[in-house]
Amino acid sequence: MWGRIVGRSAELRGQITVVQQRVLDLERQVSAFQVVPEYEKLQGQADELDVRIRKTQTDDALDRRNLRDLEYSLRDVTDPDVDYLETVYSDLGFTLGDVVHRRFEEVREFHSAVIENRRGYLEGELTELRSRIQARANERSQLGEELARVLQLLSQGGALAALNTLQQGLASARAELEALRHRFEAARTLEASKSEIAAERGQLESEMRSDLAERDQLVNEASVRFLRYATELYGADRKAYLELDPTRNYLRIAPHIDSIGSRGIGNMVTFCFDLTVAITAYRGGRGPDFMMHDSHLFDGVDARQVARALTLAREAAQAEGIQYIAALNSDDLAKAEEQGFYADHDVIEPRITDEYEDGGLFGFRFA
């Protein structure tokens, strides 16, 4: 569970590399960052200069279109030709007098004056448009230089708020890196501990096998005792033995009696094993001088086997000088007695019963 929380060192090593590179990048950005005084003011100034430059370009487009129209109009301004009138009148047979000639000259001079005035007006307009376009070009050049200067200042640094954001990101990345390093060290320690534990388990398994080899006589005696008890219950036709298997985690001891897997035989396997362990431990001075079985051990066991088990327990206890205690229901005991087990001399006084009104155990009646 701890390993799943901490993680694997191989994965953490890769994550540390990624976060460490992010920390280095942020450190370079912070170290190269220059705070520009009144950054927001310069930003607004740059935006204003850009708007003014765009406006001059828009005004230039309008004035250049007007300039083309005026140039077309100026080319269309010409003096009126009235000489063709004399030819027309002559063809018609009319001779124009001096008075008429003077009137034509006056009209010609009037139209020439009008055209001259119009030409002067158009040329003045053209001159003014060209001046405005040139003035805006000069203004745009100055604005461009000013904008370039402001943008250069902005590109060289930033606002204090931007620096604070960078510093906060750097602090967060450093904290994440430190946490990953702690987890990495914990994972390495854990993996090393697991390796050491595995090695120690292997060593313990080897020592356990050596210990069993040294206690071979004791193991054989226990196996023979278990076989004798199983034979007492089921006869010599069934194979019975103890399997001792040292593993990396514990000494596995499994008792076996050939059977068809019924629950009753399984309970009797436990009975024989418990009796074997109790007597072996008592003989070795490491066990008490009594053993006890609850009535559940005899549930589902044939009455003949119950009688044989109780007889075997009585004989083994008397031979070893220990006491065997069995909690039995009265009906189960009656069935065992029908199969030849007599417990009259084995019942310990006082007899506990709830058969009468004053019966029970410590005032508790069994309904």
SS (H, E, C) 209-235: HHHHHHCHHHHHHHHHHHHHHHHHHHC
DSSP state of 35: B
Q: What is the DSSP string of 146-179?
A: HHHHHHHHHHH-B-HHHHHHHHHHHHHHHHHHHH
Most confident stretch, 126-140, 319-333, 350-364: 319-333
Dihedral angle computed from the Cα positions of residues 99, 101, 107 and 109, in that order, rounded to the nearest 10 degrees: -120
Distance CA 49, CA 145 (A): 10
Residue 324 has pLDDT above 90, yes or no: yes
Residue 190 has pLDDT above 60, yes or no: yes
Cβ atoms 340, 351 nearer than 8 A: no
Residue 320 has pLDDT above 80, yes or no: yes
Residue 267 has pLDDT above 70, yes or no: yes
Confidence of residue 245 (pLDDT cuts 50, 70, 90): confident
What pLDDT, on the 0 to 100 scale, is given for residue 314? 92
What pLDDT, on the 0 to 100 scale, is given for residue 130? 83
Confidence of residue 313 (pLDDT cuts 50, 70, 90): very high
Name which residue leads in pLDDT, 292 or 27: 292
**Using CB atoms within 10 A of its CB, is residue 312 exposed (0-12), middle (13-18) or buried (19+)?**
buried
| CA distances in angstroms from 351 to 97, 107, 322, 346, 359, listed in the order given | 176, 162, 21, 11, 10
The tokens describing 81, both together, are 């030709």
What CATH number labels 222-338?
3.40.50.300
The percent of residues in the chain predicted with pLDDT above 90, rounded, is 16
For residues 40-64, give the mean pLDDT: 77
Mean pLDDT of the chain: 78
Distance CA 198, CA 239 (A): 36
Residue 366 has pLDDT above 70, yes or no: no
For residues 64-92, give the mean pLDDT: 66
What pLDDT, on the 0 to 100 scale, is given for residue 186? 85
Confidence of residue 56 (pLDDT cuts 50, 70, 90): confident
What pLDDT, on the 0 to 100 scale, is given for residue 197? 79
Distance CA 226, CA 244 (A): 13
The tokens describing 209, both together, are 């096998």
Name which residue leads in pLDDT, 137 or 350: 137
Cα 133 versus chain centre, distance: 64
Distance CA 143, CA 114 (A): 43
Phi/psi for 9 (5° steps) reads -65, -35
For residues 19-30, give the mean pLDDT: 82
Least confident segment among 56-65, 259-268, 272-281, 340-349: 259-268
Residue 297 has pLDDT above 80, yes or no: yes
Most confident stretch, 122-131, 274-283, 329-338: 274-283
Distance CA 64, CA 133 (A): 8
Residue 85 has pLDDT above 60, yes or no: no
So where are the chain's domains? 2-175, 222-338
What pLDDT, on the 0 to 100 scale, is given for residue 276? 94
For residues 171-196, give the mean pLDDT: 85
Q: What is the DSSP string of 304-342?
A: HHHHHHHHHHHHHHHHHT-EEEE---HHHHHHHHHTT--
* Three-class DSSP category at 109: helix
Which residue is listed with tokens 């070795």? 284
**Among residues 45, 75, 22, which one has the least CA distance to residue 147?**
45
* AA identity, residue 75: R
Distance CA 219, CA 88 (A): 156
The percent of residues in the chain predicted with pLDDT above 70, rounded, is 72
Residue 287 has pLDDT above 70, yes or no: yes
The tokens describing 237, both together, are 């036709």
Distance CA 200, CA 18 (A): 36
